[in-house]
Structure 1
Amino acid sequence: MHLPLYPNLNVHLRSDFTPDLIHDLTFSKLDLALVANPGANRKLITTKVSESPLYVVLPETSSLASKGSVTLSDLSDERWILFERKAHPDMTTLSCGGQRRKKLSFVVDKRC
């Protein structure tokens, strides 16, 4: 990538799982990474650059589809399909023991 205003800056783009990016930052293999949720790490400084809602995809026939948002309690009887833990550790934690965090809510997007 060439940025004319910064001719001496070298930018190399790469995509990887958050834990791998955090590992590489910790061991100085990377200078910067954009990740969904880095978790607590005393060796790193984090700055939130954006915030996005978390979406639930439901069939039109679901009783939850008519709600504007749903909570973890609402989803307790639903079947979840998730990425493996390495891809999104926080979602795996929520699905396995997330009932402790009942205040979390999801946006129901009717455009899908």
Structure 2
Amino acid sequence: MYELINKDVIFQFLGDDPELIRPMLEMMLNNSLTDLEDLDSLYQQGKYEEVRIKVHKGKSMMGYVGASSTKKMLQEIEKDVPNAYPRNINALKADIEILKNEISDFLKEI
């Protein structure tokens, strides 16, 4: 059982062929989640528009893996980066770690 991802949603969006799912999930691990991990640096530099763009891209990924609570958090940040990012950063970092583990575990299953 997964805390954030939903296998049914993954299969719905990406199909049930492991050869198609694997590269998409690996891309999410190596690109999308890495982008979200790098938000602190951008935020500290006052690059709020770049933060907003990366958060916007991350929302799609959360939809593909069924992480609806994380997607909702990203939507909140996207609407008001200067204020919402500091309120949500700890929860977002925790979710990113969970997602990395859950996606890695799911990749081992398929």
TM-score of the pair, normalised by structure 1? 0.28
Q: Higher helix fraction: Structure 1 or Structure 2?
A: 2
